[in-house]
Copies of this chain bind each other. A is one copy, B any other.
Amino acid sequence: MSQGFSLAIDGMGGDNAPEMVVDGLELAAERHPQARFLLVGDEARLGALLARRRRAAAACALRHAPDVISSEMKPTTALRQGRQSSMRIAIDAVAAGEAAGVVSAGNTGALMALAKIVIKTMPEIDRPALAAIAPSARGDVVMLDLGANVQCDSRNLVEFAVMGDSFARAVLGLTAPSIGLLNVGSEELKGDDRVRAAAEVLRESHIGPQFHGFVEGHDIAAGTVDVVVTDGFTGNVALKTGEGALRLMRDLLRQVFTSTIPARVGYLLARPALDRLREWMDPRRYNGAILIGLNGVVVKSHGGTDPLGFAHAVDVAMDMVTHRFNDRIRDGLARLAGPEHPRAVSAAPVVATSPR
- Interface residues in chain A, defined as those with a beta carbon under 8 Å from any beta carbon in chain B: 136-137, 147, 150-151, 182, 184-185, 190-192, 216-222, 230, 232-234, 236-249, 251-253, 256-257, 259-260, 262-263, 265-274, 276-277, 280, 348, 351, 353-354
Question: Are B273 and A256 in contact, CB atoms less than 8 angstroms apart?
Answer: yes
CB-defined contacts of A277 to chain B, threshold 8 Å: 252-253, 256
**6 residue pairs bridging A and B, Cβ less than 8 Å apart:** A147-B185, A190-B351, A192-B348, A238-B238, A245-B246, A266-B269
Question: Are A151 and B241 in contact, CB atoms less than 8 angstroms apart?
Answer: no
Question: Are A351 and B192 in contact, CB atoms less than 8 angstroms apart?
Answer: yes
CB-defined contacts of A251 to chain B, threshold 8 Å: 137
Number of copies: 2
Question: Residue of B at shortest CB range from A259?
Answer: B273
Tell me, in angstroms, the Cα distance from A270 to B262 when the chains sit together. 6
Contacts A192-B150, A266-B270, A274-B256; is A217 near B243 (CB within 8 Å)?
Answer: yes
Shortest CB–CB separation between residue A291 and chain B, in angstroms? 15
CB-defined contacts of A238 to chain B, threshold 8 Å: 217, 237-238, 241
Question: Are A191 and B265 in contact, CB atoms less than 8 angstroms apart?
Answer: no
Tell me, in angstroms, the Cα distance from A136 to B252 when the chains sit together. 10
A-B CB proximity, top 9 nearest: A217-B240, A266-B269, A218-B244, A266-B270, A217-B241, A221-B244, A266-B266, A245-B245, A221-B248
Question: Are A233 and B192 in contact, CB atoms less than 8 angstroms apart?
Answer: yes
Shortest CB–CB separation between residue A112 and chain B, in angstroms? 12
Question: Are A354 and B257 in contact, CB atoms less than 8 angstroms apart?
Answer: no
Question: Residue of B at shortest CB range from A222?
Answer: B244
Question: Residue of B at shortest CB range from A190?
Answer: B353
Question: Are A182 and B237 in contact, CB atoms less than 8 angstroms apart?
Answer: yes
CB-defined contacts of A240 to chain B, threshold 8 Å: 216-218
Tell me, in angstroms, the Cα distance from A240 to B242 when the chains sit together. 9
Question: Are A233 and B191 in contact, CB atoms less than 8 angstroms apart?
Answer: yes
**Most chain B beta-carbon contacts within 10 A, residue among A217, A232, A241:** A241
Question: Residue of B at shortest CB range from A237?
Answer: B217
Shortest CB–CB separation between residue A352 and chain B, in angstroms? 10
CB-defined contacts of A272 to chain B, threshold 8 Å: 260, 262-263
User: Out of B243, B252, B263, which one reaches A270, CB within 8 Å?
Assistant: B263
Shortest CB–CB separation between residue A340 and chain B, in angstroms? 24
Question: Residue of B at shortest CB range from A257?
Answer: B270
Question: Are A237 and B265 in contact, CB atoms less than 8 angstroms apart?
Answer: no
CB-defined contacts of A192 to chain B, threshold 8 Å: 150-151, 233, 348, 351
Tell me, in angstroms, the Cα distance from A234 to B242 when the chains sit together. 13
**Most chain B beta-carbon contacts within 10 A, residue among A236, A252, A270, A272:** A270
**Most chain B beta-carbon contacts within 10 A, residue among A185, A262, A266:** A266
Shortest CB–CB separation between residue A92 and chain B, in angstroms? 27
Question: Are A232 and B184 in contact, CB atoms less than 8 angstroms apart?
Answer: yes
Assuming A216-B240, A256-B276, A262-B272, what are 14 further A-B pairs, CB within 8 angstroms?
A184-B237, A184-B354, A185-B353, A217-B238, A217-B243, A219-B244, A221-B245, A234-B237, A238-B241, A241-B245, A242-B245, A257-B270, A259-B273, A266-B269
Question: Residue of B at shortest CB range from A151?
Answer: B192
Question: Are B184 and A147 in contact, CB atoms less than 8 angstroms apart?
Answer: yes
CB-defined contacts of A266 to chain B, threshold 8 Å: 265-271
Tell me, in angstroms, the Cα distance from A270 to B272 when the chains sit together. 15
Question: Are A247 and B221 in contact, CB atoms less than 8 angstroms apart?
Answer: yes
